[in-house]
Protein backbone atom coordinates (compact mmCIF):
# COMPACT_ATOMS: atom_id res chain seq x y z
CA UNK A 1 0.00 0.00 0.00
CA UNK A 2 2.79 2.40 0.88
CA UNK A 3 4.54 2.04 -2.42
CA UNK A 4 1.35 2.34 -4.46
CA UNK A 5 0.36 5.45 -2.51
CA UNK A 6 3.71 7.07 -3.17
CA UNK A 7 3.84 6.09 -6.84
CA UNK A 8 0.26 7.24 -7.47
CA UNK A 9 1.09 10.51 -5.78
CA UNK A 10 4.20 10.99 -7.93
CA UNK A 11 2.33 10.07 -11.09
CA UNK A 12 -0.47 12.51 -10.29
CA UNK A 13 2.09 15.19 -9.55
CA UNK A 14 3.48 14.78 -13.05
CA UNK A 15 0.10 15.10 -14.73
CA UNK A 16 -0.89 18.41 -16.32
CA UNK A 17 -4.13 18.48 -14.38
CA UNK A 18 -2.17 18.96 -11.18
CA UNK A 19 0.12 21.70 -12.39
CA UNK A 20 -0.79 23.92 -9.45
CA UNK A 21 0.10 21.25 -6.90
CA UNK A 22 3.44 20.47 -8.50
CA UNK A 23 4.28 24.17 -8.70
CA UNK A 24 3.30 24.44 -5.04
CA UNK A 25 5.57 21.55 -4.10
CA UNK A 26 8.45 23.10 -6.01
CA UNK A 27 7.82 26.41 -4.25
CA UNK A 28 7.83 24.70 -0.86
CA UNK A 29 11.12 22.99 -1.68
CA UNK A 30 12.68 26.32 -2.65
CA UNK A 31 11.40 27.95 0.56
CA UNK A 32 12.69 25.04 2.62
CA UNK A 33 16.14 25.20 1.04
CA UNK A 34 16.31 28.99 1.42
CA UNK A 35 15.29 28.79 5.07
CA UNK A 36 17.67 25.98 5.88
CA UNK A 37 20.56 27.72 4.15
CA UNK A 38 19.70 31.21 5.45
CA UNK A 39 22.93 31.72 7.45
CA UNK A 40 25.00 30.82 4.37
CA UNK A 41 23.15 33.08 1.93
CA UNK A 42 24.70 36.41 0.84
CA UNK A 43 21.95 38.40 2.57
CA UNK A 44 22.14 41.06 5.25
CA UNK A 45 22.41 40.30 8.94
CA UNK A 46 18.80 39.96 10.17
CA UNK A 47 19.82 41.44 13.52
CA UNK A 48 21.84 44.43 12.28
CA UNK A 49 20.17 47.53 13.71
CA UNK A 50 20.27 50.87 11.90
CA UNK A 51 18.39 53.49 13.89
CA UNK A 52 18.99 56.15 11.24
CA UNK A 53 16.98 54.17 8.70
CA UNK A 54 13.85 52.80 10.37
CA UNK A 55 10.61 51.76 8.67
CA UNK A 56 11.86 52.68 5.21
CA UNK A 57 10.08 51.44 2.11
CA UNK A 58 11.55 49.11 -0.51
CA UNK A 59 14.86 50.40 -1.88
CA UNK A 60 17.99 49.16 -3.62
CA UNK A 61 19.76 48.58 -0.31
CA UNK A 62 16.72 46.90 1.28
CA UNK A 63 14.52 45.23 -1.32
CA UNK A 64 11.56 44.90 1.00
CA UNK A 65 12.43 47.89 3.18
CA UNK A 66 13.37 47.97 6.87
CA UNK A 67 11.55 47.31 10.14
CA UNK A 68 11.10 49.37 13.29
CA UNK A 69 14.82 49.05 14.12
CA UNK A 70 16.12 49.56 10.60
CA UNK A 71 16.74 45.83 10.03
CA UNK A 72 16.42 44.35 6.56
CA UNK A 73 12.93 42.85 6.14
CA UNK A 74 13.86 40.44 3.33
CA UNK A 75 16.61 38.92 5.41
CA UNK A 76 14.30 38.69 8.43
CA UNK A 77 11.63 36.96 6.36
CA UNK A 78 14.14 34.35 5.17
CA UNK A 79 15.50 33.81 8.67
CA UNK A 80 11.97 33.96 10.09
CA UNK A 81 11.06 31.08 7.79
CA UNK A 82 13.52 28.91 9.68
CA UNK A 83 11.55 29.51 12.85
CA UNK A 84 8.04 29.37 11.39
CA UNK A 85 8.66 26.24 9.31
CA UNK A 86 10.89 24.66 11.94
CA UNK A 87 8.36 25.08 14.73
CA UNK A 88 5.54 23.74 12.55
CA UNK A 89 7.64 20.77 11.42
CA UNK A 90 8.76 19.88 14.95
CA UNK A 91 5.21 20.21 16.24
CA UNK A 92 3.93 17.90 13.50
CA UNK A 93 6.63 15.36 14.35
CA UNK A 94 5.71 15.50 18.02
CA UNK A 95 1.98 15.28 17.32
CA UNK A 96 2.54 12.53 14.74
CA UNK A 97 4.70 10.28 16.90
CA UNK A 98 2.65 10.69 20.08
CA UNK A 99 -0.70 10.62 18.29
CA UNK A 100 0.12 7.53 16.25
CA UNK A 101 1.31 5.64 19.31
CA UNK A 102 -1.75 6.69 21.24
CA UNK A 103 -4.13 5.81 18.41
CA UNK A 104 -2.64 2.39 17.79
CA UNK A 105 -2.49 1.58 21.49
CA UNK A 106 -6.10 2.58 22.06
CA UNK A 107 -7.03 0.49 19.06
CA UNK A 108 -5.61 -2.60 20.71
CA UNK A 109 -6.67 -1.96 24.28
CA UNK A 110 -10.08 -3.49 24.56
CA UNK A 111 -13.53 -1.93 24.40
CA UNK A 112 -13.71 -0.27 27.81
CA UNK A 113 -10.50 1.72 27.60
CA UNK A 114 -11.41 2.45 24.02
CA UNK A 115 -14.76 4.01 24.87
CA UNK A 116 -13.43 6.26 27.62
CA UNK A 117 -10.29 7.30 25.75
CA UNK A 118 -12.10 8.09 22.54
CA UNK A 119 -14.76 10.08 24.42
CA UNK A 120 -12.02 12.22 25.98
CA UNK A 121 -10.25 12.60 22.67
CA UNK A 122 -13.50 13.62 20.99
CA UNK A 123 -13.97 16.38 23.55
CA UNK A 124 -10.44 17.69 23.05
CA UNK A 125 -10.66 17.56 19.28
CA UNK A 126 -13.97 19.38 19.32
CA UNK A 127 -12.81 22.27 21.51
CA UNK A 128 -11.28 25.24 19.64
CA UNK A 129 -7.51 24.66 19.93
CA UNK A 130 -6.32 28.24 19.97
CA UNK A 131 -7.91 28.92 23.36
CA UNK A 132 -6.08 26.02 24.92
CA UNK A 133 -2.77 27.09 23.33
CA UNK A 134 -3.31 30.68 24.34
CA UNK A 135 -3.92 29.88 28.00
CA UNK A 136 -0.97 27.51 28.12
CA UNK A 137 1.47 29.99 26.58
CA UNK A 138 0.15 33.05 28.39
CA UNK A 139 0.58 31.28 31.69
CA UNK A 140 3.80 29.36 30.99
CA UNK A 141 5.48 32.16 29.07
CA UNK A 142 6.54 32.01 25.42
CA UNK A 143 9.74 30.54 24.02
CA UNK A 144 10.67 28.05 21.36
CA UNK A 145 10.38 24.87 23.48
CA UNK A 146 7.05 25.74 25.06
CA UNK A 147 5.73 26.77 21.68
CA UNK A 148 6.62 23.49 19.95
CA UNK A 149 5.44 21.42 22.92
CA UNK A 150 2.10 23.20 23.16
CA UNK A 151 1.31 23.06 19.44
CA UNK A 152 2.46 19.45 19.20
CA UNK A 153 0.36 18.31 22.14
CA UNK A 154 -2.67 20.18 20.88
CA UNK A 155 -2.71 18.40 17.55
CA UNK A 156 -1.85 15.02 19.03
CA UNK A 157 -5.50 13.95 19.71
CA UNK A 158 -6.44 14.57 16.07
CA UNK A 159 -3.70 12.21 14.95
CA UNK A 160 -4.75 9.70 17.57
CA UNK A 161 -8.32 9.73 16.35
CA UNK A 162 -7.47 9.28 12.67
CA UNK A 163 -4.98 6.53 13.44
CA UNK A 164 -7.39 4.83 15.83
CA UNK A 165 -10.18 4.72 13.24
CA UNK A 166 -7.82 3.22 10.69
CA UNK A 167 -6.43 0.73 13.22
CA UNK A 168 -9.93 -0.44 14.02
CA UNK A 169 -10.72 -1.13 10.41
CA UNK A 170 -7.39 -2.91 9.92
CA UNK A 171 -8.04 -4.98 13.05
CA UNK A 172 -11.29 -6.20 11.56
CA UNK A 173 -9.66 -7.42 8.35
CA UNK A 174 -9.70 -11.12 7.76
CA UNK A 175 -6.01 -11.87 7.71
CA UNK A 176 -5.53 -9.92 10.94
CA UNK A 177 -8.31 -11.90 12.57
CA UNK A 178 -6.62 -15.01 11.31
CA UNK A 179 -3.23 -13.99 12.72
CA UNK A 180 -4.88 -13.28 16.08
CA UNK A 181 -6.56 -16.63 16.19
CA UNK A 182 -3.15 -18.19 15.50
CA UNK A 183 -1.92 -16.54 18.68
CA UNK A 184 -0.12 -13.41 17.42
CA UNK A 185 0.57 -10.94 20.26
CA UNK A 186 -0.59 -7.35 20.34
CA UNK A 187 2.84 -5.89 19.78
CA UNK A 188 3.46 -8.20 16.80
CA UNK A 189 0.14 -7.12 15.31
CA UNK A 190 0.89 -3.45 15.85
CA UNK A 191 4.33 -3.73 14.26
CA UNK A 192 3.50 -6.01 11.36
CA UNK A 193 -0.08 -5.25 10.54
CA UNK A 194 -1.13 -1.84 11.84
CA UNK A 195 1.84 0.48 11.28
CA UNK A 196 2.67 -0.47 7.67
CA UNK A 197 -0.90 0.14 6.68
CA UNK A 198 -1.00 3.52 8.36
CA UNK A 199 1.72 5.38 6.50
CA UNK A 200 -0.49 6.91 3.84
CA UNK A 201 -3.12 8.14 6.25
CA UNK A 202 -0.38 9.53 8.48
CA UNK A 203 1.11 11.37 5.51
CA UNK A 204 -2.21 13.03 4.73
CA UNK A 205 -2.89 13.91 8.36
CA UNK A 206 0.64 15.31 8.66
CA UNK A 207 0.12 17.65 5.72
CA UNK A 208 -3.14 18.91 7.21
CA UNK A 209 -1.58 19.34 10.63
CA UNK A 210 1.44 21.10 9.15
CA UNK A 211 -0.72 23.87 7.74
CA UNK A 212 -2.66 24.13 11.02
CA UNK A 213 0.57 24.24 13.02
CA UNK A 214 2.00 26.95 10.77
CA UNK A 215 -1.11 29.05 11.31
CA UNK A 216 -1.15 28.35 15.03
CA UNK A 217 2.49 29.36 15.45
CA UNK A 218 1.86 32.50 13.43
CA UNK A 219 -1.28 33.38 15.37
CA UNK A 220 0.37 32.90 18.75
CA UNK A 221 3.48 34.81 17.69
CA UNK A 222 1.23 37.54 16.33
CA UNK A 223 -0.27 37.86 19.81
CA UNK A 224 3.27 38.08 21.24
CA UNK A 225 3.20 34.61 22.77
CA UNK A 226 5.66 32.90 20.42
CA UNK A 227 9.38 33.33 19.81
CA UNK A 228 10.97 36.29 21.54
CA UNK A 229 12.62 39.18 19.70
CA UNK A 230 15.09 39.81 18.20
CA UNK A 231 14.61 36.33 16.66
CA UNK A 232 12.07 36.81 13.86
CA UNK A 233 9.11 34.65 12.89
CA UNK A 234 6.50 35.61 10.32
CA UNK A 235 3.56 35.94 12.67
CA UNK A 236 5.60 37.91 15.15
CA UNK A 237 6.82 40.31 12.45
CA UNK A 238 3.25 41.03 11.35
CA UNK A 239 2.21 41.44 14.99
CA UNK A 240 4.89 44.04 15.66
CA UNK A 241 4.94 45.84 12.31
CA UNK A 242 1.14 46.23 12.17
CA UNK A 243 1.68 48.97 14.76
CA UNK A 244 3.48 51.04 12.16
CA UNK A 245 1.19 50.60 9.16
CA UNK A 246 0.39 54.29 9.11
CA UNK A 247 4.10 55.03 8.66
CA UNK A 248 4.99 52.19 6.31
CA UNK A 249 2.15 49.82 5.36
CA UNK A 250 4.45 47.50 3.39
CA UNK A 251 6.52 46.34 6.31
CA UNK A 252 3.62 44.37 7.84
CA UNK A 253 2.28 43.12 4.53
CA UNK A 254 5.47 41.36 3.31
CA UNK A 255 5.91 38.81 6.12
CA UNK A 256 2.15 38.22 6.00
CA UNK A 257 2.38 37.40 2.31
CA UNK A 258 5.26 35.00 2.93
CA UNK A 259 3.11 33.08 5.38
CA UNK A 260 0.11 33.20 3.06
CA UNK A 261 1.99 31.74 0.07
CA UNK A 262 3.46 28.92 2.12
CA UNK A 263 0.07 27.99 3.61
CA UNK A 264 -1.47 28.15 0.14
CA UNK A 265 1.20 25.83 -1.24
CA UNK A 266 0.84 23.38 1.66
CA UNK A 267 -2.93 23.32 1.11
CA UNK A 268 -2.54 22.66 -2.62
CA UNK A 269 -0.16 19.77 -2.03
CA UNK A 270 -2.37 18.50 0.79
CA UNK A 271 -5.39 18.50 -1.50
CA UNK A 272 -3.56 16.29 -3.96
CA UNK A 273 -2.42 13.90 -1.22
CA UNK A 274 -6.01 13.60 -0.09
CA UNK A 275 -7.23 12.98 -3.63
CA UNK A 276 -4.72 10.19 -4.07
CA UNK A 277 -5.77 8.63 -0.78
CA UNK A 278 -9.49 8.75 -1.58
CA UNK A 279 -9.77 8.01 -5.30
CA UNK A 280 -13.52 8.47 -5.24
CA UNK A 281 -13.10 12.10 -4.19
CA UNK A 282 -11.22 12.82 -7.37
CA UNK A 283 -14.14 12.79 -9.71
Partner 1 sequence: MEMTRRSFALTGLTALTGLALGGTSLSAFAAGKAGTLRYGTVTEVTNIDPHIYAGNSWKVLIGVLYSPLVTFDTKGEIVPAVAESWEQPDAATIVFRLREGVTFHDGSALTADDVVFSLERIRDEATGATLRGYLVDCTIAKVDERTVEVKKSEPDASLLSVLALPEAAMVSKAWVESGVNIKSQANGTGPFTLAEYESGVRARLAANPSYFIEGEPKLETVDFRMIKSDDARVSALRSGQLDMIDFVPWKDIDMLARMPNFEVDSASGAFMSVWFNATRAPFDDPRVRRAMAFAVDREAISRAAFFGHGTPIFSAPTPEDSPYYNADLKGTVSLDIEKAKALLAEAGHGEGLDMELIVYQGLGIYTTTAQILQANLKEIGVNVSIRLVEWSDLVSRKNGADYDAMIYGVSMKLNDPDAYSYYLGSESAYWAKPIGYRDETLEALLDEGRQLTDQGARKAVYAKAEERILETMPWIFINYREQAQAYTRKVKGYVHLGGALSEAAPAISLPKIALD
Partner 2 sequence: MLRFLGHRLSSALLTLAIAAVAVFLVARMIPGDPVMIMLGEATGGDPAAVARMRNELGLDRSLFVQFSNWAMRLLQGDFGVSIRSGEPVLDDLLLRIPRSLELIAGGLLVAVLLGLPLGILSARNRGRLSGAISSIVSVIGFSAPVFVSGVILVVVFGVWLQVLPSSGYVPFADDPLLHLSCLVLPSLAIGLNFMGVVARVTRASLIDTMDNDYVALARAKGLSRGRAMIRHALPNAMVPVIAIIGIRAGNLLGGTVIVEALFDWPGLSSLLVSASFSRDYPVIQGSLIAIFAIFILISLLIDLAQSFFDPRVRATA
203 binds, among partner 2, partner 1, none (CB under 5 to 8 A by kind): none
Instruction: Name the residue among 33, 10, 85, 82 with its Cα closest to residue 266.
Output: 85
Binder to partner 1 among 46, 103, 107, 142 (CB under 8 A)?
A: 142
Least distance CB 69 / partner 1 (angstroms): 6
Binder to partner 1 among 69, 125, 130, 195 (CB under 8 A)?
A: 69
In SS3 terms, the chain reads as CHHHHHHHHHHHHHCHHHHHHHHHHHHHHHHHHHHHCHHHCCCCCCCCCCCCCCCCCCCCCCCCCECCCCCEHHHHHHHHHHHHHHHHHHHHHHHHHHHHHHHHHHHCCCHHHHHHHHHHHHHHHHCCHHHHHHHHHHHHCCCHHHHHHHHHHHHHHHHHHHHHHHHHHHHCCHHHHHHHHCCCCHHHHHHHHHHHHHHHHHHHHHHHHHHHHHHHHHHHHHCCCCCCCCCCCHHHHHHHHHHHCCCCHHHHHHHHHHHHHHHHHHHHHHHHHHHHHCHHHHC
The answer to whether the CB of 73 falls within 8 A of the CB of 251 is yes
Q: Does 272 bind partner 2 (CB under 8 A)?
A: no
Neighbours of 199 (CB within 10 A): 15
Q: Does 238 bind partner 2 (CB under 8 A)?
A: yes
Least distance CB 68 / partner 1 (angstroms): 6
69 binds, among partner 1, partner 2, none (CB under 5 to 8 A by kind): partner 1
Q: Does 148 bind partner 1 (CB under 8 A)?
A: no
Tell me which stretch binds partner 2 (CB under 8 A): 9-17, 63-71, 153-161, 249-257: 249-257
229 binds, among partner 1, partner 2, none (CB under 5 to 8 A by kind): partner 1
Q: Does 229 bind partner 1 (CB under 8 A)?
A: yes
136 binds, among partner 1, partner 2, none (CB under 5 to 8 A by kind): partner 2
Least distance CB 224 / partner 1 (angstroms): 5
Tell me which stretch binds partner 1 (CB under 8 A): 18-26, 48-56, 184-192, 199-207: 48-56
98 vs 134, which CB is nearer to partner 2? 134
Site for partner 2, residues 133 to 162, rule: CB under 8 A? 134-136, 138-140
Q: Does 1 bind partner 1 (CB under 8 A)?
A: no
- How far are the Cα atoms of 98, 149, 195, 216 from residue 101, in angstroms, in the given order? 5, 17, 10, 23
Q: Does 129 bind partner 2 (CB under 8 A)?
A: yes
75 vs 150, which CB is nearer to partner 2? 150
Binding site for partner 2 (CB under 8 A): 119-120, 122-123, 126-132, 134-136, 138-140, 215, 218-219, 222-223, 235, 238-239, 242, 245-246, 249, 252-253, 256-257, 259-260, 263-264, 267-268
Amino acid sequence: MTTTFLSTFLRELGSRRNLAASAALLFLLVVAVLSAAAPLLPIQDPLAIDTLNILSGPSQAHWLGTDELGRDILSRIIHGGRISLGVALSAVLLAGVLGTLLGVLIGFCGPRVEAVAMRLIDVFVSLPEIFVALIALALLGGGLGTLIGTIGLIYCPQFARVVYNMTRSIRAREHVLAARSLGAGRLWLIRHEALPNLYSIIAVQASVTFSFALLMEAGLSFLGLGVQPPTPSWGQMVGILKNYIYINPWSAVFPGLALFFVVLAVNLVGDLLQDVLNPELRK
